[in-house]
Structures are given as structure tokens and as C-alpha cells.
């Protein structure tokens, strides 16, 4: 699974990395310990709100909360239980299949945290990273708040989830699942909102190569989501 990650890229960094045309929301500060239900940066493509037939525009949206709330949910608190979606079933599960067909996104990150039990049952945190920022495949949804009028600026709650897959390589020794990471050639196809056939989405997911990340042990201070500083990414001397 993926329950914590770090993202230090500035908005300008993301605009350049993803060749993005526009932004939504205020810029988020760097975070070294992003936790569920927090606002995160996502990259997505969609037509302008009042021009549904216009060409989709790639955007950085920082108003999105981590933890997907399906549009049909009665209570948005369900999002805290939907921070991850299994890539193997994402096109068939009721909570995710609509978003998998039409609302795919990317969560930019510099790496993510995972915990491994030692011989004494103690959970040891690790930071998994590559030699450059990573692109985690995700889905996003818009939930209409029934208590607010249709023209209210806060009526629509934006939320997202991170796709996961069976972990292999080094990551598989730490946890049996890891995020779906998109190499650069897969960014465009994944964000393409015209790709709506669920079989085609499954085929795209199945063609994404396995990630190869490097892990190192970090301080248990990361266990507390209130801790958020660069020191969380320092390796523990062993």
C-alpha cells in the first residue's frame, strides 16, 4: 500500500515537469510526510468547467484531498478508507470504476514510506525513492455536497486515490504492494480523458513496467503525521 509520501517539488517544478497549461488552487508548500485526508498536488486533464466540449487542458490542482470519495457516497468520511486502489480490480470495483474510465490523475512525489516488521514485531519505516521524482498513478473524483446549493463555490469536494500493484524487486521485501509508478512515456496515455474503455485502461495498466526503487531506513518520527521536516528523509545509521 501507500499511506505516506513526500513531495518537495515547487509548483514551477511541476509545471515544467508535466508541461502543464494551468493551475487550480493555492500553491502547497513542500511536505516530507504527506498523510491521508491532506490536500495534495495532482496532475490531470479535463475540459474547462464551463466548456465541457472544449479540448482537455492539463492542470496542476492543489485543492484535492487524499482519500477518494465516490460521487454516490452519502458520507465523505469514506475517503479515509480509500487512499489506495488495487490496479488489478480498479476498473470493476464500484468505488473506482467510473474514475478509472474517465478521471485518472498523477500524484507527483519524491518517494514514499513503507513499514517492515523486524524479528521482534517492531515496525521499521523505510523511504523508497528513485534517482528523480516519481509519478504515482491515481484517480480523482468530485463529490457534490448535498447541503450546499449548486452554485456554492465549495459544493464540489475533490478527492483522489493512489493505485497500487504487487511489489517486486527490493520493495517486495518490505511490503507486498507498492504504488503504480508511471515512466514518462506513460504519462500522456494515463492522463488522456478520451481513453474511456475499461478494457483499454486495464491493458494500459498491465503494460506499465515494474518500478525499481531504492529503500533506506528512516527515523520512526515519520510515524507521527504531525512531524514534517527534511530530517524525516535522512537515513538511519545502522
Give, in order, the Cα–Cα distances in Å from 191 to each of 2, 25, 205, 236. Answer: 20, 20, 12, 37
Contacts with 233 (C-beta within 8 Å, 6 or more apart), sequence order: 6, 32, 111, 127, 218
The phi, psi pair for 125, rounded to 5°, reads -80, 140
Question: Strand runs (DSSP E) across the chain, as ranges?
Answer: 4-7, 22-24, 31-34, 39-46, 57-66, 84-86, 104-109, 111-117, 123-129, 134-144, 156-166, 177-179, 214-217
Q: Tell me, yes or no, if 160 is annotated catalytic.
A: no
Q: Tell me, yes or no, if 2 is annotated catalytic.
A: yes
Cell 534517482 maps to which residue?
131
- Residue among 45, 105, 114, 178 flagged as catalytic: 114
Catalytic residues: 2, 114
Amino acid at each position: 500500500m501507500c499511506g505516506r509520501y513526500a513531495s518537495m517539488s515547487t509548483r514551477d517544478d511541476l509545471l515544467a515537469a508535466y508541461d502543464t497549461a494551468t493551475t487550480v488552487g493555492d500553491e502547497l508548500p513542500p511536505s516530507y510526510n504527506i498523510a491521508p485526508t491532506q490536500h495534495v498536488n495532482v496532475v490531470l486533464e479535463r475540459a474547462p468547467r464551463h466548456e465541457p466540449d472544449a479540448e482537455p487542458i492539463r492542470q496542476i490542482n492543489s485543492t484535492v484531498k487524499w482519500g477518494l470519495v465516490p460521487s454516490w457516497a452519502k458520507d465523505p468520511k469514506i475517503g479515509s478508507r480509500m487512499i489506495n486502489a488495487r490496479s488489478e480490480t480498479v476498473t470493476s470495483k464500484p468505488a473506482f470504476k467510473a474514475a478509472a474510465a474517465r478521471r485518472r490523475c498523477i500524484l507527483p512525489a519524491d518517494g514514499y514510506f513503507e513499514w517492515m516488521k523486524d524479528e521482534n514485531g517492531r515496525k521499521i519505516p523505510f523511504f523508497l525513492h528513485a534517482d528523480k521524482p516519481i509519478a504515482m498513478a491515481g484517480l480523482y473524483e468530485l463529490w457534490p455536497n448535498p447541503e450546499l446549493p449548486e452554485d456554492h463555490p465549495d459544493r464540489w469536494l475533490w478527492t483522489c486515490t493512489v493505485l497500487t500493484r504487487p511489489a517486486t524487486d527490493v520493495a517486495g521485501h518490505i511490503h507486498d504492494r507498492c504504488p503504480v509508478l508511471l515512466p514518462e512515456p506513460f504519462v500522456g496515455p494515463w492522463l488522456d480523458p478520451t481513453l474511456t474503455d475499461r478494457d483499454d485502461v486495464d491493458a494500459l495498466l498491465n503494460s506499465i513496467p515494474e518500478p525499481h526503487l531504492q529503500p533506506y531506513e528512516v527515523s520512526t518520527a515519520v510515524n507521527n503525521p504531525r512531524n514534517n521536516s527534511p530530517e524525516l528523509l535522512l537515513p538511519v545509521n545502522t
